[in-house]
Amino acid sequence: MQYRTLGRTGIKVSPYALGAMMFGPFGNPDHEDATKIIHRALDAGINFIDTADAYSGGESEEIVGKALKRCRDDVVLATKARLPMGDDPNRQGASRRWLVRALDDSLRRLDTDHVDLFQIHRPDPDTDIEETLSALTDLVRAGKVRAIGSSAMPPSEIVEAQWVAERRGLQRFRTEQPSYSILARGIETEVLPVAERYGMGALVWSPLAKGMLTGRVRKGQQTDLRRAAMPAFADQFGDERRLDVIERLISLADEAGVKLTHLAIAFAIAHPGVTSAIVGPRTMDHLDDLLAGVDLTLSDEVLDKIDEIVPPGTDIGTRDVAAYVPPALASPSLRRRPVDERAAA
């Protein structure tokens, strides 16, 4: 395993990061089996584990904490907070009030006194970024956090956060965690270049496009992929534009003599702005399949052909339902003048 530096933190991490979203009722409810998967990943050289308080209501963190009980110091451990953790409107967001409580809750579930990377799971337009960075700075100074990061943050907000941190003498985001795959290359336009400019590591999620790049999703064929049956993902998995691209990628993978899964992840970690790609196996077979491609390096010829199929900076088809939607896109009222002003014009 060739380790990489996480931005400018000096922390060395594996190019594959083990994502723990599938550990717990959402994916694999068997704690013992999930623990074996974690240990298998560690034995293979993966030293970077990413989880979040919202994954299975905190159960993912509990599983990870138990699995790392005897090897905590050997692992770069990352978690996240921001998404709702109950019906109380204050048990979510990026306010000081919630982040301090959320981290303490995560540390208890993880059975550790610190995390190496604490990330804001999504931007919080209701909270001033200075408030968020101030709270995170205090958590770093308290020794509970080693580095802080953002996730799915638009490039303009990444820049604003860096400027605020510099002006106010606060800790700055050292990492960004965006969605990135052959089907979703939009971050190549600004997010990755901006992250590189500020020395941020990029920990990308969904390199297999929610499973669409496993080879188990084919045009005109039934699939046994669990997510394909979930109503929330129906538009993504039924998108003809994506399915057409997948057929071309399968042909390319066959031509190159590699599996589509290996092609997809090797593509993600080939970008110089990407530090690690998060792989989120639900079963040991899933993990073993991914680990079999860990040494794959794509040639320029193959990367050029991928560029021909999906041009750089392009997102294919339906927006990922897990992606962050800025308020200006989510609320029509922010895109339309009041009716009386429009009529007067």
CB 207, CB 264: distance < 8 Å: yes
Residue 217 has a pLDDT of 83
The catalytic residue among 16, 55, 180, 198 is 55
Provide the residue count of the chain. 345
51 lies in which domain range? Answer: 4-344
Closest alpha carbon to 26 in 78, 1, 63: 63
Counted domains in the chain: 1
**Which residue type sits at 20?**
A
Region for residue 5 given its phi and psi (left: phi exceeds 0; alpha: psi -120 to 50; beta: otherwise): beta
Nearest CA to 23 out of 71, 55, 46 is that of: 55
Amino acid at 92: Q
Helix, strand and coil percent figures for the chain, each rounded to 5: 45, 15, 40
Q: What is the pLDDT of residue 169?
A: 98
CA angle 17, 175, 307 (to 5 degrees): 70
Annotated active-site residue 55? The verdict is: yes
CA proximity to 196, closest of 178, 175, 217: 175
Alpha-carbon gap, residue 115 to 132, rounded angstroms:
17
- Can you list the residues of the chain whose pLDDT is less than 70? 228-229, 232, 345
Q: What is the pLDDT of residue 229?
A: 66
Residue 49 forms beta bridges with which residues? 18, 77
Alpha helices (runs of H) in the chain, residue ranges in sequence order: 31-43, 59-67, 96-110, 129-141, 155-168, 191-197, 234-237, 240-256, 260-270, 284-291, 300-309, 327-330, 339-344
> Which CATH number characterizes residue 93's domain?
3.20.20.100
Residue-wise pLDDT tens digits, 114-128? 999 999 999 999 999
Write out pLDDT tens, residues 234-267.
Answer: 778 788 999 999 999 999 999 999 999 999 999 9
Phi, psi of 76 (to 5 degrees): -90, 110
Do the Cβ atoms of 158 and 326 come closer than 8 Å?
A: no
